[in-house]
Structure 1
Amino acid sequence: MISPRAKEVFIQGITSDGRTFRPSDWAERLAGVMSSFRPGGATPGSHLSYSPWCVPTSVGGVKCVIVHTDLRDHDVMAWDFVMNFARDNGLQIAEACVVPDTPPPAKP
């Protein structure tokens, strides 16, 4: 279950038993499938770039897909597709939230 405070979910390319998920380009493939789900909807040529709501990346040498919760608000079926992909393949999921910037302490 994803907490309501989470703004992003990291789907990590590590299975629940600690193995690296294959194929090695799974993150790019998943993000490519989700490319039409974006603010303002799909437009001509939008399939040529990733959606800002579903972005492949690497964190600490582990392939990941960062999924923003705005995807869930925009299209719950698309959100369910991504979450079910992670669950069906036994991938680890980590939540993230936006931490507000704190101003530096005042100098005396």
Structure 2
Amino acid sequence: MSKTVQQLIIHGVTQDNRRFRPSDWAERLAGVMSQFRPAGSSAHRLTYSPYVFPTRLEDTPCVIVDERLRQLEPLAWKFVCDFAKDNHLQTSTRTLDGKS
């Protein structure tokens, strides 16, 4: 059985194509969100949430936000969306098909 996962990608590039600073913004944002985890999972120190994690796409820092966070914690979802909006960051979405 496969399930579809929707993701919001927050790119480290502003709407006017400037690189967003500080350079570690993605790790900082993901670190703040590390407490949001699936029910029953252990909250290991120094690990990112499976719902919000930093990565690099085309050599640009990004944060991947799993849309399931919206149902788990709507205020956390709003926080990351507002972060992108307030800082004029480019966003995109993608759909992943995976096995459950």
TM range (shorter): 0.7 to 0.9
1:35 corresponds in structure 2 to 34
| TM-score between the two structures when normalised by the length of structure 2 | 0.87
Contact 2:5 2:98 in 1 (8 A): no
Q: Secondary structure at the match of 1:14?
A: strand
Q: Distance in 1 between matches of 2:86 and 2:49?
A: 22
Q: Secondary structure at the match of 1:35?
A: coil
The answer to which structure, 1 or 2, has the higher relative contact order (CA under 8 A, 6+ apart) is: 2
Q: Secondary structure at the match of 1:86?
A: helix
1:105 corresponds in structure 2 to none
Post-superposition Cα deviations, 1:47-84, rounded to whole Å, max 9, x if no partner, equal 42000000100000010000000111100000000000
Displacement of 1:98? 1.9
- Higher strand residue share: 2
Gaps of 5+ in 1: 102-108
Count of residues paired in the alignment: 96
2:88 corresponds in structure 1 to 90
Gaps of 5+ in 2: none
- Which of residues 48, 51, 62 is equivalent to 1:50? 48
Q: Distance in 2 between matches of 1:27 and 1:75?
A: 20
Q: CA RMSD in A?
A: 2.1
| TM-score between the two structures when normalised by the length of structure 1 | 0.81
Identical-pair percentage:
48
Displacement of 1:46? 3.1
Q: Distance in 1 between matches of 2:78 and 2:32?
A: 13
Which consecutive segments of 4 or more residues in structure 1 shift more than 6 A?
A: none
